[in-house]
Amino acid sequence: MISILGRKPDGMLINRTNGGIGGNGKTYQTPETRDKISKALTGNNNSPRQCTWQITFECGRIEIVKRLPIWAKERGYDRSGIHKVYRGVRNHHMDIVKVIKLVTPKPPL
Protein backbone atom coordinates (compact mmCIF):
# COMPACT_ATOMS: atom_id res chain seq x y z
CA MET A 1 0.00 0.00 0.00
CA ILE A 2 2.89 2.35 0.73
CA SER A 3 4.13 1.90 -2.82
CA ILE A 4 0.74 3.06 -4.13
CA LEU A 5 0.05 6.01 -1.81
CA GLY A 6 3.65 7.04 -1.29
CA ARG A 7 5.38 9.10 1.32
CA LYS A 8 5.87 12.79 1.98
CA PRO A 9 9.36 14.21 1.34
CA ASP A 10 10.14 13.99 5.08
CA GLY A 11 9.36 10.25 5.10
CA MET A 12 5.87 10.30 6.69
CA LEU A 13 3.14 8.24 5.04
CA ILE A 14 0.49 10.13 3.07
CA ASN A 15 -2.95 9.86 4.69
CA ARG A 16 -5.74 10.16 2.11
CA THR A 17 -8.72 9.53 4.35
CA ASN A 18 -11.27 12.18 5.27
CA GLY A 19 -10.57 13.50 8.73
CA GLY A 20 -7.31 11.66 9.30
CA ILE A 21 -7.14 9.17 12.16
CA GLY A 22 -10.61 8.13 13.30
CA GLY A 23 -12.27 9.68 10.23
CA ASN A 24 -15.25 8.25 8.42
CA GLY A 25 -13.06 5.89 6.35
CA LYS A 26 -13.78 7.46 2.96
CA THR A 27 -10.68 7.91 0.87
CA TYR A 28 -9.76 11.19 -0.70
CA GLN A 29 -9.62 11.29 -4.51
CA THR A 30 -7.02 13.46 -6.13
CA PRO A 31 -8.16 15.86 -8.86
CA GLU A 32 -6.38 13.65 -11.41
CA THR A 33 -8.38 10.61 -10.26
CA ARG A 34 -11.65 12.55 -10.47
CA ASP A 35 -10.77 13.69 -14.01
CA LYS A 36 -10.04 10.09 -15.07
CA ILE A 37 -13.36 8.87 -13.66
CA SER A 38 -15.24 11.75 -15.28
CA LYS A 39 -13.67 11.08 -18.69
CA ALA A 40 -14.43 7.36 -18.41
CA LEU A 41 -18.12 8.03 -17.69
CA THR A 42 -18.63 10.88 -20.18
CA GLY A 43 -20.67 9.93 -23.22
CA ASN A 44 -21.76 6.61 -21.77
CA ASN A 45 -25.47 7.21 -22.31
CA ASN A 46 -26.27 3.95 -24.10
CA SER A 47 -27.24 2.02 -21.00
CA PRO A 48 -29.75 -0.82 -21.51
CA ARG A 49 -31.77 0.70 -18.66
CA GLN A 50 -32.23 3.97 -20.53
CA CYS A 51 -35.93 4.49 -21.21
CA THR A 52 -37.92 6.25 -23.87
CA TRP A 53 -40.92 8.27 -22.76
CA GLN A 54 -44.04 9.55 -24.53
CA ILE A 55 -45.16 12.91 -23.15
CA THR A 56 -48.64 14.21 -23.96
CA PHE A 57 -49.42 17.92 -23.49
CA GLU A 58 -52.74 19.73 -22.86
CA CYS A 59 -52.89 20.93 -26.48
CA GLY A 60 -52.71 17.32 -27.71
CA ARG A 61 -49.09 17.46 -28.87
CA ILE A 62 -47.11 14.26 -28.26
CA GLU A 63 -43.35 14.22 -27.81
CA ILE A 64 -41.06 11.18 -27.66
CA VAL A 65 -38.23 11.76 -25.18
CA LYS A 66 -35.02 9.98 -24.22
CA ARG A 67 -33.05 11.02 -21.12
CA LEU A 68 -36.06 12.44 -19.30
CA PRO A 69 -34.13 14.25 -16.49
CA ILE A 70 -32.04 16.23 -18.99
CA TRP A 71 -35.08 16.99 -21.18
CA ALA A 72 -37.08 18.18 -18.14
CA LYS A 73 -34.30 20.42 -16.84
CA GLU A 74 -33.74 22.07 -20.23
CA ARG A 75 -37.45 22.92 -20.53
CA GLY A 76 -38.10 23.99 -16.93
CA TYR A 77 -40.09 20.95 -15.77
CA ASP A 78 -39.61 19.14 -12.47
CA ARG A 79 -38.55 15.53 -13.06
CA SER A 80 -40.33 14.29 -9.94
CA GLY A 81 -43.55 16.01 -11.04
CA ILE A 82 -43.38 14.22 -14.39
CA HIS A 83 -42.84 10.89 -12.61
CA LYS A 84 -45.87 11.57 -10.39
CA VAL A 85 -47.99 12.01 -13.53
CA TYR A 86 -46.55 8.73 -14.85
CA ARG A 87 -47.40 6.87 -11.61
CA GLY A 88 -50.89 8.40 -11.45
CA VAL A 89 -50.29 10.36 -8.26
CA ARG A 90 -51.02 13.64 -10.08
CA ASN A 91 -53.34 14.40 -13.00
CA HIS A 92 -50.95 16.88 -14.61
CA HIS A 93 -47.67 18.70 -14.18
CA MET A 94 -47.70 22.19 -15.66
CA ASP A 95 -49.00 21.47 -19.21
CA ILE A 96 -48.12 17.72 -19.22
CA VAL A 97 -51.24 15.57 -18.86
CA LYS A 98 -50.01 12.06 -19.67
CA VAL A 99 -46.68 10.20 -19.46
CA ILE A 100 -46.13 6.73 -20.90
CA LYS A 101 -42.96 4.68 -20.58
CA LEU A 102 -42.25 3.07 -23.95
CA VAL A 103 -40.80 -0.43 -23.94
CA THR A 104 -37.38 -0.60 -25.53
CA PRO A 105 -36.03 -3.93 -26.75
CA LYS A 106 -33.19 -5.39 -24.71
CA PRO A 107 -29.85 -5.52 -26.48
CA PRO A 108 -28.56 -8.98 -27.41
CA LEU A 109 -26.17 -10.56 -24.94
Predicted confidence pLDDT, tens digits, the chain (109 residues): 566 666 666 766 666 655 555 555 566 677 888 888 777 777 655 555 578 889 999 999 999 988 888 888 898 988 889 889 898 998 888 889 999 888 765 555 4
pLDDT given for residue 23 in this prediction: 55
| 82 vs 88: CA distance, rounded Å | 10
User: Going by DSSP bridges, is the β-strand pair 62-66/52-57 parallel, antiparallel, or unpaired?
Assistant: antiparallel
Q: At what angle do helices 68-75 and 79-87 cross, to 10 degrees?
A: 120
- Residue-range domain boundaries for the chain: 2-41, 52-102
Q: pTM value?
A: 0.52
| 76 vs 91: CA distance, rounded Å | 18
| Cβ count near 53 (within 10 Å) | 19
| 38 vs 59: CA distance, rounded Å | 40
